[in-house]
A and B are shown apart, each in its own frame.
Chain A
């Protein structure tokens, strides 16, 4: 009889990185299908190319550096998928390939791979693409939630992620219910954005787009790039809301506002974290 001796705990809850990543991918795939309804099959081509480029880059890097292949955990696929959703369907197909390479190679693996990224790779790659080829990555249309059906499917959207707010809301609530993402950041981000927009008299129909919900439920609560302290996550959510409205108010573009918000908030997340370390309940007085 051979017995295993190990430290506690001897059981695990069963939530794994794979489950978290693949649930997010499943939600975003549903969103991609909605975008195919709006934009036609061209949208799906962008998604497929982007995902393949991201996964291929990760596999190539890990083969070259002789690391263990981790494409099964879904992180690379998620990066490619999110990045594709930030682009317009009319994009030239070489741009997502370059973007995916930038995201996976330079933003993810150069900083140490999964769990060590400073910025959300998909957003960093979007910022890179937007700065390099601004005219090619710009959208032709701005979403406007004129009627309630626009929340379900928005035909006036310019980027893939904007097509359906409701898919992202249902998906996000599912993620929170399963405790795959934390509730603090999404709740505070959404509330702060709406309250701020109402305070300065913005029309909510331009603010509450699909992209805002992508930011609220997928981009901002990304575990690696958001603070880990409880207080820090409150502040992070509020900061995201403020930045979104400020950027949107000044540029009249609430879609791009979400993306730059998360990018800037990522940059200050470590500072928020450092200043909100909790005090232990049973602290040993020294």
Chain B
């Protein structure tokens, strides 16, 4: 595809862009990007504005053309306040010259993924998955997360997802690939089957939904290799991505466009729910306005899933690379019951995917007995939210578990006065899937 063709395409998509975008310099697990632009500097669509080559990092790009208004701390949907680049649009949508690859080699793919700063739904930069020291045997694409499926798995996207899978397999040198689809999502698996003509790629069905927090468990379910909490599927030789990640790879390699757009499904108390293609950095407010605005008074705005998503403090937070779903709850849908006593019904034990005793840990945490929580393997909890969902007594199990983890970090950290604070904020500890707080806290 030539550059002119790409440029022709852009105006159609850009009509949904807002006047101002806020692009956080941390949209992944890893270290914060350093800004490459200064205030008042002109930027173009797709221009790289943040990068850090010191460690685990995914570079960020401008999603609109305009000039930088400010580089300051702004609200982030996952991490409190993060330094962000605020860009005001000049309504021109001038884009940089994209450099697509027609017949990409392995190096081309890795290069394109790095340049595009692609972040998977788990928050892990895809570039680091591709360039791991481990031998990658399998590429899995998880199509069981409802938010991801509803946003990205439309009929027109399926060939692109398959292409993304092939590119990921080539880029990582994996010989096998598999799409993982929920057992009862028959329409998606039949669509996939009709499009898929490759012996090395299979379609596997699983019984449960696997949101991004359960990536390690999904890798275990498919490959049979247990992945401890402190590792990622990559350590077991598996690249586990999502429909969103595969689409971004296809766009990066075939069109040269960096990760500046994402599909977001808006549901709940809005007038016109549905999927929208929006620029990274657009505020939730604008996305909700595109969906017809609020119907009634909103009570809670949730990113990525009602079970384990993050509730937002206001609707000014920007869409980031791993946003797939915005759920608006009206005021009377918001849960307000006060918790009762634990009756030891063991419903939480039955649903727990990591086989711990969530209710018991929560009770110990409530009483301040964090050492007992540690003995009951609180650090294994992945905070998927299922115990909280089934609790008949409305107990705040996840909150108590998170609190116990935070208190344990305090208890087990040896204070070091000379140590400099780690880059980035510490609030990523709560959604962190990799057990990073335990690495920094010195438990592991």
Contacts and interface: CB of A to CB of B under 8 A. Distances in A.
A5 B392 contact: no
A278 B359 CA distance: 13
B226 interface: yes
Contact of B392 (A2, A19, A182, A229): A19
Interface in A1-60: 1-13, 15-17, 19-20
Contacts of A278: 349, 355-357
Interface of A: 1-13, 15-17, 19-20, 73, 113-116, 179, 182, 223-224, 226-230, 233, 277-286
Contacts of B353: 281
A8 B315 contact: no
Interface stretch (B3-11, B87-95, B186-194, B340-348): B340-348
Interface residues of B, number: 69
B168 interface: no
Interface of B: 216-217, 220, 226-230, 297-302, 305-315, 327, 329, 334-335, 340-347, 349-350, 353-357, 359-360, 376-377, 379-380, 382-383, 385-386, 388-394, 396, 398-399, 402, 435, 438, 443-444
A207 B443 CA distance: 55
A284 B299 contact: no
Given A8-B388, A13-B389, A3 B299 contact: yes
Contact of B438 (A8, A17, A115, A284): A284
A19 B345 CA distance: 13
Contacts of B355: 278-281
A11 B336 CA distance: 11
Contacts of B393: 16-17, 115
Given A283-B380, A285-B228, A8 B309 contact: yes
Given A16-B394, A228-B346, 17 more contacts: A1-B315, A4-B300, A5-B311, A5-B313, A6-B399, A7-B311, A7-B396, A11-B389, A12-B335, A12-B388, A17-B392, A73-B340, A228-B357, A229-B349, A230-B349, A280-B380, A281-B220
Contacts, number: 168
Contact of A7 (B229, B313, B398): B398
Nearest to B340: A17
A11 B228 contact: no
B240 to A, nearest CB: 14
Given A4-B299, A282-B216, A9 B340 contact: no
Given A3-B314, A7-B399, A228-B360, A283 B306 contact: no
B342 to A, nearest CB: 5
A229 B217 contact: no
Nearest to A70: B340
Nearest to A75: B343
Given A282-B229, A284-B228, A16 B392 contact: yes
A118 B244 CA distance: 51
B354 A281 contact: yes
B173 to A, nearest CB: 26
Contact of B341 (A13, A19, A115): A115
B341 A114 contact: yes
Contacts of A2: 299
Identify whether the interface residues of B are mostly helix, strand, loop, or mixed. Answer: loop
Q: Identify the interface centre among B314, B343, B349: most chain A CB within 10 Å of its CB.
A: B343
Nearest to A181: B345
Nearest to B349: A228
A9 B388 contact: yes
A4 B311 CA distance: 7
B365 to A, nearest CB: 12
B293 to A, nearest CB: 12
B307 A282 contact: no
A273 B320 CA distance: 45
Q: Tell which of A8, A116, A182, A228 has the most Cβ of chain B within 10 Å.
A: A8
Contacts of A113: 341
Contacts of B302: 10
Contacts of B229: 282-284
A8 B343 contact: no
A9 B398 contact: yes
Nearest to B356: A280
Contact of A9 (B308, B313, B345): B308
Given A4-B311, A20-B392, A283-B377, A224 B343 contact: yes
A284 B376 CA distance: 12
B389 A12 contact: yes
Contact of A5 (B220, B312, B379, B382): B312
Contacts of A7: 311, 388, 396, 398-399, 402
B393 to A, nearest CB: 6
Contacts of B313: 3, 5
Q: Max chain A CB contacts within 10 Å: which of B310, B311, B346, B379?
A: B346
Contact of B398 (A5, A8, A226, A228): A8
B394 A12 contact: yes
B357 to A, nearest CB: 6
A223 B312 CA distance: 36
A136 B170 CA distance: 83
Contact of B297 (A1, A6, A11, A233): A1
B3 to A, nearest CB: 43
A283 B228 contact: yes
